[in-house]
């Protein structure tokens, strides 16, 4: 475990790229990804995830590779590969295992392998470590060492960036924890928290996201109750939020790579030790059904105005959250399907999504522009991307027919005045 750390970051996505770029300000860093297109784009200074701007990407001292041989001899390997669920919502550790075997093929004695991918307690030591051992012939805890440091960044969040947030760090031995604490301490001004052990650090990450999922599920559940009572959940939350210890969450679709996925990792781990998780899975069910519920509400509102099959709907936003191009696990598609299934003609625009990905993921051909959009019976604000927040009353008049419906899923237009001939629906 040498003093000058040569670091390899494996997996250059939303998490790995910003991490590698910031680490490269302090250490020699090689970033490796199996996706040659991604590496080519990054070498040309283009980050399609929009996390790192062209300037810092062109200026970085890190190097990029697709060939595992390039990362041989690294002191620290940091694994930031995807951890999705399969079609049965069970953890899919294919990428973690693959990256571990790849590291095993090039690792030298004394190196540390740190996982940042979100997993359930036990994956690093009981699954990843043995994969490295098998590929390398080295002994874990003797010839090489493991660590875990969960990644906490949010896509599109320019405030809580990897160089500012508190990093939870754990190593297989106190010495490894210290080495990793020193390394991450250089990376972030937010300080490091040295967790008791690797499983504790893994557990901490997975409950951070499960807690968020459950809190949003609660707000989604009360939103559906208040809908029946003719109350807006946003009005209710605004009032309740004046209490000092009321937790502020908003209703909505829970998608993406993390919050809608990680609770299943915890649920799986619980099940394997004989505990059936109740609240964790209830939260998942409520949140996964929200898109269908929103489609039901919009269809009902349109029916009140005599509009059914054939009516034209403009859906604004397809990504899983605002101001990011990330379409993974976006539940806007549930609204689209719920409405097209009733015969509505739904057209979709997204200010940031890649049209080719929209086609590939959801078979949706995105509208290239909404500059001349007109003649719709309903506009659905599904994702509060900045350009949609800026809509004027005039824009709604242009888009909609007389007596058109403004369906505001995220409450982004709740304080916008609407022309008198238009109707509004919101959660």
Query: Using CB under 6 A, which of the segments 6-14, 181-189, 274-282, 289-297 binds ligand NAD?
Result: 6-14
Query: Is there a contact between 338 and 294 (Cβ–Cβ < 8 Å)?
Result: yes
Does the protein bind ligand NAD through residue 323 (CB under 6 A)?
no
Q: What is the spatial distance between Cα 242 and Cα 231, in angstroms, rounded to a whole number?
A: 18
Q: What is the spatial distance between Cα 16 and Cα 78, in angstroms, rounded to a whole number?
A: 8
Our CB check for ligand NAD shows the closer of 71 and 183 to be: 71
Our CB check for ligand NAD shows the closer of 116 and 202 to be: 116
Does the protein bind ligand NAD through residue 80 (CB under 6 A)?
yes
Task: Provide, rounded to whole angstroms, the least separation between the CB of residue 177 and ligand NAD.
Answer: 20
Does the protein bind ligand NAD through residue 167 (CB under 6 A)?
no
Residue appearing with tokens 């242009």: 398
CA-nearest of 421, 424, 414, 426 to 394 is 421
Site string for ligand NAD, 127-156 (x = CB under 6 A): ------------------------xxxxx-
Our CB check for ligand NAD shows the closer of 170 and 258 to be: 258
Query: Using CB under 6 A, which of the segments 5-13, 138-146, 266-274, 383-391 binds ligand NAD?
Result: 5-13
In degrees, rounded to 5, the angle at the alpha carbon of residue 221 between the alpha carbons of residues 215 and 226 is: 125
CA distances from 15 to 151, 159, 163, 271, 421 (A): 7, 15, 12, 28, 46
Q: What is the spatial distance between Cα 296 and Cα 289, in angstroms, rounded to a whole number?
A: 11
Q: What is the spatial distance between Cα 306 and Cα 171, in angstroms, rounded to a whole number?
A: 63
Q: What is the spatial distance between Cα 355 and Cα 367, in angstroms, rounded to a whole number?
A: 9
Our CB check for ligand NAD shows the closer of 64 and 376 to be: 64
Does the protein bind ligand NAD through residue 15 (CB under 6 A)?
yes
Q: In the chain, what is the straight-line distance between the N-terminal and C-terminal CA atoms, in Å?
A: 55
Return the residue of 117, 149, 172, 330 that touches ligand NAD, per CB under 6 A. Answer: 117
Our CB check for ligand NAD shows the closer of 33 and 75 to be: 33
Site string for ligand NAD, 84-113 (x = CB under 6 A): -----------x--xx--x-----------
Question: DSSP class of residue 126?
Answer: I
Task: Provide, rounded to whole angstroms, the least separation between the CB of residue 70 and ligand NAD.
Answer: 12
**Dihedral sign of CA atoms 104, 105, 109, 110 in order:** negative
Site string for ligand NAD, 231-270 (x = CB under 6 A): --------------------------xx------------
Catalytic residues: 258
Q: Which residue's CB comes closest to ligand NAD?
A: 13
Coil, helix or strand at residue 258: coil
Task: Provide, rounded to whole angstroms, the least separation between the CB of residue 36 and ligand NAD.
Answer: 9
Residues numbered 30 to 49 that lie near ligand NAD (CB under 6 A) are 32-35, 38
Q: What is the spatial distance between Cα 398 and Cα 382, in angstroms, rounded to a whole number?
A: 19
Our CB check for ligand NAD shows the closer of 100 and 177 to be: 100
Q: What is the spatial distance between Cα 354 and Cα 166, in angstroms, rounded to a whole number?
A: 32
List all residues 6 or more positions away from 147 whose beta carbon is below 8 Å from its beta carbon: 112, 113, 114, 115, 124, 169, 170, 171, 172, 176, 177, 180, 198
Task: Provide, rounded to whole angstroms, the least separation between the CB of residue 90 and ligand NAD.
Answer: 15
Return the residue of 9, 16, 42, 120 that touches ligand NAD, per CB under 6 A. Answer: 16
What does residue 314 show for φ and ψ, rounded to 5 degrees?
-105, 115
Our CB check for ligand NAD shows the closer of 83 and 177 to be: 83
Does the protein bind ligand NAD through residue 169 (CB under 6 A)?
no
Our CB check for ligand NAD shows the closer of 38 and 331 to be: 38
Question: How is 297-317 classified by DSSP, letter by letter?
Answer: HHHHHHHHTT--TT-EEEEE-
Task: Provide, rounded to whole angstroms, the least separation between the CB of residue 96 and ligand NAD.
Answer: 8
Residues that bind ligand NAD (CB under 6 A): 10-16, 32-35, 38, 80-83, 95, 98-99, 102, 116-118, 151-155, 257-258
């Amino acid at each position: 475990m040498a003093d000058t750390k040569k670091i390899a970051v494996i997996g250059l996505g939303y998490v790995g790229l910003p991490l590698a770029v910031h680490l490269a300000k302090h250490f020699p860093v090689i970033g490796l990804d199996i996706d040659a297109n991604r590496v080519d784009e990054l070498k040309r200074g283009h980050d399609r995830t929009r996390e790192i701007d062209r300037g810092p990407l062109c200026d970085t001292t890190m190097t990029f590779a697709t060939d595992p041989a390039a990362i041989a001899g690294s002191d620290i390997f940091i694994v930031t590969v995807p951890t999705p669920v399969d079609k049965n919502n069970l953890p899919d550790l294919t990428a973690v295992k693959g990256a571990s075997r790849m590291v095993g093929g090039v690792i030298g004695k004394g190196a540390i392998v740190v996982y940042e991918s979100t997993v359930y307690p036990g994956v690093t030591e009981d699954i990843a470590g043995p994969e490295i051992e098998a590929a390398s012939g080295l002994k874990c805890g003797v010839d090489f060492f493991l660590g875990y440091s969960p990644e906490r960044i949010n896509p599109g969040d320019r405030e809580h960036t990897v160089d500012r947030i508190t990093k939870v760090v754990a190593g297989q031995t106190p010495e490894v924890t210290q080495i990793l604490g020193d390394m991450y301490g250089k990376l972030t001004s937010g300080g490091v928290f040295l967790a008791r052990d690797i499983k504790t650090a893994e557990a901490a990450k997975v409950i951070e996201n499960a807690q968020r999922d459950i809190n949003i599920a609660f707000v989604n559940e009360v939103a559906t109750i208040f809908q029946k009572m003719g109350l807006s959940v946003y009005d209710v939350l605004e009032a309740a939020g004046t209490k000092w210890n009321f937790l502020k969450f908003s209703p909505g679709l829970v998608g993406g790579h993390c919050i809608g996925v990680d609770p299943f990792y915890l649920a799986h781990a619980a099940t394997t030790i004989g505990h059936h998780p109740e609240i964790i899975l209830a939260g998942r069910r409520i949140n996964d059904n929200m898109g269908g519920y929103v489609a039901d509400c919009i269809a009902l509102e349109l029916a009140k105005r005599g509009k059914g099959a054939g009516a034209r709907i403009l859906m604004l936003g397809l990504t899983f959250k605002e101001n990011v191009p990330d379409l993974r696990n976006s539940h806007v598609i549930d609204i689209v399907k719920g409405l097209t299934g009733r015969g509505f003609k739904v057209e979709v625009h997204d200010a940031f999504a890649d049209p080719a990905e929209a086609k590939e993921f959801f078979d949706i051909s995105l509208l290239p522009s909404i500059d001349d959009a007109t003649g719709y019976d309903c506009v659905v604000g599904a994702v509060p991307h900045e350009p949609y927040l800026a809509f004027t009353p005039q824009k709604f008049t242009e888009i909609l027919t007389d007596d058109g419906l403004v369906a505001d899923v995220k409450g982004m237009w709740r304080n916008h005045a609407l022309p008198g001939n238009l109707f509004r629906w919101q959660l």
